[in-house]
Structure 1
Amino acid sequence: MCGITGIFDLRERRPINRALLEAMNQTQFHRGPDEGGVHCEPGVGLAHRRLSIIDLSSGQQPLFNEDESVVVTYNGEIYNFIELTRDLEQAGHRFHTHCDTEVIVHAWEEWGEACVERFRGMFAFGLWDRNRQTLFLARDRLGIKPLYYSLLPDGHLLFASELKALMAHPDLPRALDPRAIEDYFAYGYVPEPRSIFSAVHKLPPAHRLSLRHGQRDLPPPRVYWEVPFDALPPLDETTAVRELVERLREAVQVRQVAEVPLGAFLSGGIDSSAVVAMMAGLSRNPVRTCSIAFADPAYDESRYAQQVAQRYQTDHYQEQVDSDDFALLDRLGELYDEPFADSSALPTYRVCELARRKVVVALSGDGGDENLAGYRRYRHHLGEDCLRRPLPLGLRRPLFGALANLYPKADWAPRVFRAKATFQALARDSVEGYFQGVSILRDDLRARLFSPDFRRELQGYNAVDLLREHAARAPVNDSLSLVQYLDLKTYLPGDILTKVDRASMAHALEVRVPILDHPLVEWISGLPPTLKIRDGEGKYLLKKAMEPYLPNDVLYRRKKGFSVPVAEWFRGPLQGRLREQVLGERIADSGLFDVDHLAHLIDQHVSAARDHSPALWSLLMFDGFLKRLDVSPEA
């Protein structure tokens, strides 16, 4: 795994500032501490930081074709590179290394922009073709690897793996995007294609972008792949179980190619446990596994990880994290560059830290919940949609909206008496209903959070608009597939994969995600919803498939996830810090928030009258982002 950086003169062929490009590249040293490389020619500069995984003795980047007319800087792994090498050699191409990087330059020569459609793996790269005078940027299908880009006012385009590399350029405009701020306080992250800065974009997953000298404006990125959700031919459950195991095993197998120590995360959940089970069946040696235990038993799942480790006799490493492990708060702003409010980033950082002491490559179970419908919110959404279906929206919205306004809020009461939330859900359409379920702060809470001036600046934009855009393009025809599609486009790349990429690369650890193997994703998307959720059981087919491989209490239990006791922290050891930061000058001077309301939120939370921990954590992380801006170069 690596870090990439580039500068491209969109308008002319002006000399590239090599020293500046090298400085941008060095901000990503953590992504590739083994080697660094820079290539500059008139109008183009490419730079690279390398973490050596395959072909350790060669494969340095930027890497060229035979006549050095094509050069690439690349971050990722292409798992079918041996097959592609064979095909390209038969077509007359000559290879000088045994690494997957060289496949990219020859694949570009042979197939042009369509080369990405042949790659199986995770990748983000920038490729310069001198003969075609074209810069080509591309990102993998699911968004496992990141790619930021920005067109400066002077016509120079910057791109990099992380936003911090672009921020090292003194001319990068730093005006905040109001829509990104609205998105952040709704989702807890800034979803693609936006970034926190108006002038910076993320190349969306499964998109490519071609640029040439002489252009005045950026063309829009173009999509090259879609999660199909094409119904599979009818198959019985036994056949589906067998095929799922075969496909998962093969996806794991192709990700075990490495010339460095390799292992796996093992949380005790079904996804990581399934990956470890497949690895154990494919390896002659014990699998190295790593997990985190929590001192507080309310958050600890380590005994389930131990069960799987003992069953497969893995070489298991476990460390305990204290319940008050919040020493990383300042580090999070450095890692994520943008505001990022997923508190599980803390234990994710710790498990990556542990894993890197034992391995250089780790397989993870990420993607199972989105693909196989593991989130509880999917079941809740299906239940709400069943209630919505009999009545048209034009009737439901005024009827249940009025009932929701009349019914008192009762968060303290048992769920059966919390009718207000149910009435509110029934007054919405399916997309809006799901949005309210995944939002960390509902519409009314965000409205009170923001200042009147900032609400006017939004000009009516609401974060639900993003989901509506994706829903309008969704190739689905049922409620479950729709919300899975929405998560695959937003939550998976924006939160889950971002969290793991930054936490792992902070330790120069490569993480591979077999459940996000795109042929596997395509096949799973075509399964009928009844094989994903049945009788209120999520991941139905995966659990059935893993019954011969995993203990029942790993398969059929309520998973806790990587949660941390944020609410308790804010009433205890972090209370002083919370008041200091959320009610401090940076937040107040930003002009974005109603400061009196922020004080009200803190008082209510500290007194235990309400749990406002999601809002307060989001504000704390936003202040950490503003603090980082204070020490960055001025625009």
Structure 2
Amino acid sequence: MCGIIFEMDNKICDEVNFKYALESQHHRGPDGSNYKVLQSGKVIIGNNRLAIIDKSGGSQPITSSDGQVVITFNGEIFNSRDLRNGLEKAGMKFNSSHSDTEVILQMYLKFGIKFIEQINGMFAIIIVDLKTQHTFVIRDRFGMKPIYFKINGSRYVFASDLRAIKILSKNNEICQDSVAEFMGLGFITSPNTVYQNIISLQAACYMDIDMISGKSTINNWWTPPVDEFGDINFEESVNLVRKEFTSAISRWTTSDYPIALSLSGGVDSSSVLIACLEAKIEVNPFFMGFKGFSLSRWDESSVVKGFTEVFGINYNNIEMTPQDLVLNLNNIVSHLEQPYGGGIPSWKIFLEMKKFGYRVALNGTGGDELFGNYNRATDLPSNVFDDIESFKLNYLNKFYKIYPYEINDLLMDNTSERYIDKLFHKAQRYQDLEIEKRSALFDMETQLTDEFLIMIDKLSMMNSIEARTPFLDHIFFEQIHRIPNRVKNIEGSYKLLLKTAFGDSLPTFLKQAPKKGFSLPLSIWFRGELRELLISKILDEEFIECFHLNKVIIAQTLDQFLAGDNSRVLFIWRLFMLSFWLRSVHLNQSFEKQ
């Protein structure tokens, strides 16, 4: 796991400034920073390394033996051993013992850009081919590893973090459309970012840059399979899930270091733990709860305690308090880099893992989208993806709490309509599929990538930890995605297929436990210990003026919330986090140094 960075210009790049940008990503790779100057100073490519695989032989950037191809890479390739065996049989030589970065290089030399179709993992890759004068920038299938860029004429800058882009470029103005989208969703969907001219390369895409002309194209290189198994039954599907997930776990636990696990009271992370136990793969679970009777709605301690007792395993129990949030929120927000209004308890988990010396951590992200998608398709109108008003009210507002009318009043314009148009256009993909698949694919390409995975990446790398999501092993995903919904969601039971696949091992009380999610007890804390902080942040005059917000709407909504109305708690949380972002990131002159 690493931070990567690239700059190309038609004049000599500022090497001192590049080193400054590289250093800003130190948290992503504390084990070493290196860069290479190419094309007489007109191209620089760099890397911050967090050593997980082949600590002694995996330094980056690396160069082909003829000096014509240079690569830097963030992530892990979990089938690199198999790929390397095939390359060695074909006569290709390796300098490292088991570096997956060198496997990527050799795969590119043999297969060209088509090599990406053969790799299994999470990655952002930059390849500079001096022979063909093309640069390729690649993002993995699900967007587990971010890569941002800014183009100004023939000048290109890419980096894992926005802070590095900001160091290498000027005039980074806030995008008001993105602010509207954030207030509606709690996150910003790619390719947009909070800045007008900084772009997020979308999942499963690669950019091809012609280094001579300075022109570029963006190409989609993978889409989820839409064909289904024709005659598979429930029992066969259960066996397929168990077999393929066990294989995925085997691949995604490749590491030269011990492995931790983020454990909740849900089926997904519990299934990851069971699969590891059955494969005799040692993992150390970490669980976070909230102490106090009033917080029992958010706490899953009893479920986790009972589950681990069944298996006779120990786990690290962590408690989060409002004081933890107050003391660390500035640092959390600065590492998230963009306004973020989702759940952030994972930060505390990764911090504790780091204290115990862990560098690798598994989690259960992706299981919901693959096994039932929260039952969101149940009782949806048949036209929900074909009529924009139905889409806005019956899908976005129902599942994302977009507060369409309140946000128009808050922003005093119609910018919220533009992001809804963008999302509606995205929802038009896969028009021929049944509503369950359309719902799952839409959420996978928006919420999974741009809320959950980006949060996991930012908060894990904040603590120099590599977070892995084995449910998103693409071989496993493609197999399970092809199971028809009539089998996957039989009788409308949520995650019945996954629960049955591990039914012999999952305790009954866990299978029947209600899903609580992994969120903060905001309504309790904001009326208690965090009340004064909340008021000071969302009524801050500079905050209101910067975003041209309607102060009357904010005051009214705040009063209603403090009086006990929870219907707009997410609206309040998003305002709070937007105000915090303004101070911690946008107006903070030392942000890039953190």
TM score, norm. by length of structure 2: 0.93
- Alignment match of 1:385 (pick from 381, 386, 391): 381
Write the letter of the residue equivalent to 1:114: K
Counterpart of 1:99 in structure 2 is: 99
- Tell me, yes or no, if structure 1 residue 586 matches structure 2 residue 584: no
Give 1:324 shift: 5.4
Counterpart of 1:243 in structure 2 is: 240
Give 1:297 shift: 2.4
TM alignment of 1:131-280, pairs within 5 A: 131-152=131-152, 155-169=154-168, 171-217=169-215, 219-280=216-277
Write the letter of the residue equivalent to 1:504: S
Do the aligned residues in 2 keep the contact of 1:229 with 1:522 (CA within 8 Å)?
A: no
Distance 1:512 1:610, change over 3 A: closer
Write the letter of the residue equivalent to 1:621: M
Counterpart secondary structure, 2:491? coil
Do the aligned residues in 1 keep the contact of 2:163 with 2:591 (CA within 8 Å)?
A: no
CA distance in 1, matches of 2:304, 2:45: 43
Give CA deviations for 1:279-327 in whole Å, capped at 9, x if unaligned.
Answer: 011126x531111121132221022222332333334211222355422
- Tell me, yes or no, if structure 1 residue 47 matches structure 2 residue 38: no
Write the letter of the residue equivalent to 2:44: G
- Tell me, yes or no, if structure 1 residue 115 matches structure 2 residue 115: yes
Write the letter of the residue equivalent to 1:340: Y
Write the letter of the residue equivalent to 1:314: I
TM alignment of 1:71-82, pairs within 5 A: 71-82=70-81
CA distance in 2, matches of 1:610, 1:430: 24
Counterpart of 1:287 in structure 2 is: 283
Counterpart of 1:305 in structure 2 is: 304
CA distance in 1, matches of 2:90, 2:171: 45
Uncovered stretches (5+) of structure 1, i.e. residues with no partner: 398-426
Larger mean CA deviation between 440-449 and 157-166 belongs to 440-449
- Alignment match of 1:527 (pick from 483, 496, 506): 483
Do the aligned residues in 1 keep the contact of 2:37 with 2:45 (CA within 8 Å)?
A: yes
CA distance in 2, matches of 1:315, 1:258: 22
Do the aligned residues in 2 keep the contact of 1:149 with 1:157 (CA within 8 Å)?
A: yes
- Alignment match of 1:603 (pick from 559, 572, 575): 559
Counterpart of 1:331 in structure 2 is: 331
TM alignment of 1:307-322, pairs within 5 A: 307-322=306-321
Distance 1:534 1:385, change over 3 A: farther
Give CA deviations for 1:76-108 in whole Å, capped at 9, x if unaligned.
Answer: 011111121122233332211121001111111
Counterpart secondary structure, 1:15? coil
CA distance in 1, matches of 2:338, 2:56: 36
Counterpart secondary structure, 1:179? helix
CA distance in 2, matches of 1:431, 1:221: 29
Give 1:471 shift: 2.2
Do the aligned residues in 2 keep the contact of 1:451 with 1:593 (CA within 8 Å)?
A: yes
Counterpart of 1:468 in structure 2 is: 424
Give 1:252 shift: 0.3
Distance 1:323 1:560, change over 3 A: farther
CA distance in 2, matches of 1:140, 1:374: 21
Do the aligned residues in 2 keep the contact of 1:229 with 1:476 (CA within 8 Å)?
A: no
Counterpart secondary structure, 1:75? strand
Do the aligned residues in 1 keep the contact of 2:155 with 2:214 (CA within 8 Å)?
A: no
CA distance in 2, matches of 1:57, 1:369: 38
Give 1:49 shift: 0.8
Distance 1:591 1:31, change over 3 A: closer
Give CA deviations for 1:21-75 in whole Å, capped at 9, x if unaligned.
Answer: 1111111111111111111123211111111111111110011111221111110
Write the letter of the residue equivalent to 1:250: S
Counterpart of 1:353 in structure 2 is: 351
Write the letter of the residue equivalent to 1:116: I
Larger mean CA deviation between 431-440 and 348-357 belongs to 431-440
Write the letter of the residue equivalent to 2:185: Y
Give 1:557 shift: 1.9
- Give percent identity, aligned residues only: 26
CA distance in 2, matches of 1:585, 1:127: 46
Do the aligned residues in 2 keep the contact of 1:293 with 1:300 (CA within 8 Å)?
A: yes
Write the letter of the residue equivalent to 2:333: G
Runs of 4+ in 1 over 4 A off after TM superposition: none
CA distance in 2, matches of 1:124, 1:289: 28
Give 1:551 shift: 0.4
CA distance in 2, matches of 1:91, 1:173: 50
Distance 1:92 1:290, change over 3 A: same
Write the letter of the residue equivalent to 2:587: D
- Tell me, yes or no, if structure 1 residue 517 matches structure 2 residue 473: yes
- Tell me, yes or no, if structure 1 residue 61 matches structure 2 residue 25: no
Give 1:360 shift: 1.6
TM alignment of 1:339-418, pairs within 5 A: 339-342=339-342, 344-345=343-344, 347-358=345-356, 359-376=358-375, 378=376, 381-385=377-381
Give 1:134 shift: 1.2
Distance 1:633 1:167, change over 3 A: farther
CA distance in 2, matches of 1:201, 1:432: 28
Counterpart secondary structure, 2:418? coil
Do the aligned residues in 1 keep the contact of 2:180 with 2:411 (CA within 8 Å)?
A: no
Counterpart secondary structure, 2:339? coil
CA distance in 2, matches of 1:168, 1:632: 11
Distance 1:609 1:298, change over 3 A: closer
CA distance in 1, matches of 2:79, 2:266: 29
Counterpart of 2:17 in structure 1 is: 20
Count residues with an aligned counterpart.
583
Distance 1:609 1:504, change over 3 A: closer
Counterpart of 2:404 in structure 1 is: 443
Counterpart of 2:8 in structure 1 is: 8
Uncovered stretches (5+) of structure 2, i.e. residues with no partner: none
Give 1:496 shift: 0.6
Give 1:148 shift: 0.6
CA distance in 1, matches of 2:212, 2:65: 27
For the aligned residue pairs, the C-alpha RMSD in angstroms reads 2.2
Counterpart of 1:501 in structure 2 is: 457
Write the letter of the residue equivalent to 1:118: Q
Do the aligned residues in 1 keep the contact of 2:208 with 2:217 (CA within 8 Å)?
A: no
Counterpart secondary structure, 1:492? helix
CA distance in 2, matches of 1:507, 1:609: 36
- Alignment match of 1:38 (pick from 35, 44, 48): 35
Counterpart of 1:412 in structure 2 is: none
- Tell me, yes or no, if structure 1 residue 90 matches structure 2 residue 51: no
Do the aligned residues in 2 keep the contact of 1:150 with 1:200 (CA within 8 Å)?
A: yes
Distance 1:475 1:597, change over 3 A: closer
Write the letter of the residue equivalent to 1:298: R
Give CA deviations for 1:559-590 in whole Å, capped at 9, x if unaligned.
Answer: 11112121222222222222222121322221
TM score, norm. by length of structure 1: 0.88
Write the letter of the residue equivalent to 1:207: C
CA distance in 1, matches of 2:340, 2:426: 22
Counterpart secondary structure, 2:492? coil
Distance 1:150 1:354, change over 3 A: same
Counterpart secondary structure, 2:518? coil
Larger mean CA deviation between 186-195 and 609-618 belongs to 609-618
Counterpart secondary structure, 1:232? coil
Distance 1:332 1:554, change over 3 A: same
